[in-house]
Every structure is written in structure tokens, then in C-alpha cells.
Amino acid sequence: MQFSFEVSEGGSHPDKAEGSPMRLRHRVQLSALVAAAAVEGRAPNPSATLDDSCFEPYPNLRNCVTDVVQANGSRVVETNSVPPYAFEPYCPFGAGKGYCFDPPGSFDCDWGAMVCPAQKFARDRNISGDVMMPWYEKFVFPARPDPTAPSAPRHIYDDVALVAWADYDLEDDATPPQKSGPDARYQVIGVHVNGVQLKGPAEAEGYNVDLTGLGLEKTCGAHITPPYSLPGAAMYHYHKAASCCHIESPGRHSPLIGYANDGFGVYGYADVRGDASVLDECRGHFGPLDDDAPGDVAYHYHAQDVNNTVASGDGFMPYYLGCQGPAKGLCESQVNWTAHDMGHVYCGDGCGADVCVQPGTRPDALDAYLDAFNATWLAAFTVNDF
């Protein structure tokens, strides 16, 4: 059995100042935990809040997540990365095919030698595809993020809130299909309230997921990672909106479905009364969070039920967010898009102003929210009619 635990210093810790040193990673081999897990037949559990039964291997999987706001102002989410529903054994392009996207099912990419299922655990049991396994992950967000922070807008992948994770492999006699691959923080934009990772709109090779033939709209917007570096590990994660979960409340503001890296909430498709949301280029805005609490106003994002096509060119619509906002009209000009996802731009259309407020929002409620951070901030920007 192989197990490793990684901690990232800096980045999204809310008590770290802007301009903190480059993140350092420390890999620690936890031999005592590994030995204990081998006896018990489950993965090691580094969590202080999750039960050991959360780390049983397939098929004894169950959803485990805790969400705790601490006294220091941090929101800490710990999870085993297993969704609250079943996910069938998975090959992205069919059993016996490859994992590459250009063309689909080919073998011409960084992990081109792999044939699905590449997971030894699945092959040894004659399972038709790779199966997800529990991964421990710990996210740390500011519980009350500041919408007036001068650092916004930022790229969707900046300051990743995932600060600790554990990967493991129950098949330590197998040779990894690849010597290395992206780590758990790659393309992370946040976490769903059910504990599953939210990733960006492109797959690992940089292709928008709608253009790859993966058909994620049929699998709740998600899939599992290829077991590229550990022969037993495969982590479930979302790229598109998690449509099989509670994401809409007819005639009402959609529920909270997750947190972005910056700590702002991500909500479902609709706004108050079920109206369409008036959003900035980051796909966020200021407005009420609940029909029954019109005075509870905050900056937040809304997921989008969209499908991108080749005709979209480099300007694709985001599924969760296009940048970390507020956008202030600067999504494309202030964010280094060329370093990620083949340079694709995921900024939305915006509302025609620097700052977007949902129509019907009470001005006094908006002022009260902003006054807690910077009472003069809004005066520096144009605002849509609301």
C-alpha cells in the first residue's frame, strides 16, 4: 500500500498576506497510518472530523464531508471526495480505448500508453472501467470574503483553497502507468457542498470539456481522473454544473451549491423569484441570497447550464465562474489567460457596467454589506440600474 499526505503553505490561507512566498509542498510518508490501514482494509484517514469508515475502498463508498467555520474566520471543509450517489465504473471513451481527447479515445497524449481500465484494482476484479476511490481533501476559505479587495479580478485557478490532500494506492505491487501527473490542486476552482472538487472548464490537456466527447452532461457534469500516477487511485470531480444534485428551486433563488477558491458562494442557475441572474464577466454579482431574506445581500456566483461548441472559438461560456470577482470590467484585460487551458477565455458577457447588482436588490442592504469592508468602494465604479 502506498499513501502520501501533502500540505500546501500559503495560497488560499486567509491569514496569509497578498504576495506571500511561492507555495511549498512537503510530502510525508505516514508509515504508521499505512500499516493501520492495511490491517483494517481501508485507506488511511488523516482527518480530525471524518470517520474511518469514510475511507473504505470501492464498492463500500459513502459520502463524507464536514463544513466548519472556525473562530479565526476560516471556513474549513474536509471531505473524502465521494459524491452522495453512485457512479458507475468509467472509461471516458469506452473500454479498451485510450484516455486522450484528440481524437477521442486515442493514445497520443501525456498518458497515451494507458488503455482503459488502467486501474489495477478494476482489472484484477474484471470491472468494466476505472472506479472512484476516496481521497482525503481539506479546503480552507475565508468565511466572509471581502468583495472590495483590490486583487480582484483574478484567474479562476489563483490561490487554490485546497491546502491538504492524501492520495493512496491499495495495489503497491503495481507499476504506476505514468511516472508523474498533475497533483490534486490542478485546475481546482473550489468545492461543492457535497465535498466533491470543482475543477475548471477544461480537461487536463486544456480542451474545453464540451469539445472532448466526454458527454459530462450525462454524468452529472463529472467524471474520475485517469489513474495516471497511482495504479489504484481515481478521484471524482466536477467540470460542468452538477445537474443531478439540488441546483434549482422553482420560483426561488437557487440553493448554495459550493464555494469558489476566494470563499464566495456558488449558487444554482436562478435568482430571486426564479429570475435570470444579471451577472458580471466573472459570472458573479451582488444580490440577495434567499427570497425570504432580502436584506441578506452578498457577492456570489451562479452556475450556468450551458454547452459550448467549436463555433465558440476561444470565447467559451463558463460552467461555474469565469474569473474570481468582482470583475470590475477587467476580466479579460487583468487576468493571464494565456498560461492556462490553451489560452481560452471564459469571461461572461457582463451587465454593461463595472459592478453588477441583481435588479430588485435593496440599496440599503447593499450599502450595509459593503460598509463592513469599504464604505467608499462602490463610488469608484459604474453600476447597472437595479
CA angle in degrees (0–180, nearest 5) for 224-139-323: 80
**pLDDT of 294:** 96
**pLDDT of 314:** 54
**pLDDT of 265:** 98
Peptide bond into 104 cis (omega under 30): no
**pLDDT of 131:** 92
Task: Say if residues 328 and 176 touch (Cβ distance below 8 Å).
Answer: no
**pLDDT of 182:** 62
242-251 pLDDT, tens digit per residue, is 999 999 999 9
Backbone φ and ψ for 339, nearest 5 degrees, come out as: -85, -5
Sequence-distant (6+) residues with CB within 8 A of 129 are 88, 89, 90, 91, 95, 116, 117, 122
**pLDDT of 356:** 98
- CB hemisphere CA count around 357 (13 angstroms): 19
d(CA 318, CA 200): 8
Residue for grid cell 470501492:
58
CA angle in degrees (0–180, nearest 5) for 274-188-373: 65
- Residue ranges per structural domain of the chain: 2-238, 256-380
Backbone φ and ψ for 81, nearest 5 degrees, come out as: 65, 20
**pLDDT of 217:** 83
Sequence-distant (6+) residues with CB within 8 A of 356 are 278, 279, 280, 284, 285, 286, 326, 327, 350, 383, 384
Residue for grid cell 484484477:
124
Q: What is the DSSP string of 297-314?
A: EEEEEE-------GGGTT
- Which residue ranges in the chain fall short of pLDDT 70? 1-44, 167-182, 229-233, 310-315, 334-339
**pLDDT of 22:** 30
**pLDDT of 323:** 93
256-292 pLDDT, tens digit per residue, is 999 999 999 999 999 999 999 999 999 999 999 999 9
Predicted TM-score (pTM) of the model is 0.88
C-alpha cell at 85: 450517489
342 SS3 class: helix
d(CA 339, CA 125): 41
**pLDDT of 211:** 80
**pLDDT of 168:** 57
* H runs (alpha helix) in the chain: 31-40, 120-124, 331-334, 363-371
**pLDDT of 88:** 93
Side-by-side strand order, sheet with 24-28: 24-28, 2-9, 162-169, 136-142, 74-79, 65-69
Task: Say if residues 160 and 11 touch (Cβ distance below 8 Å).
Answer: yes
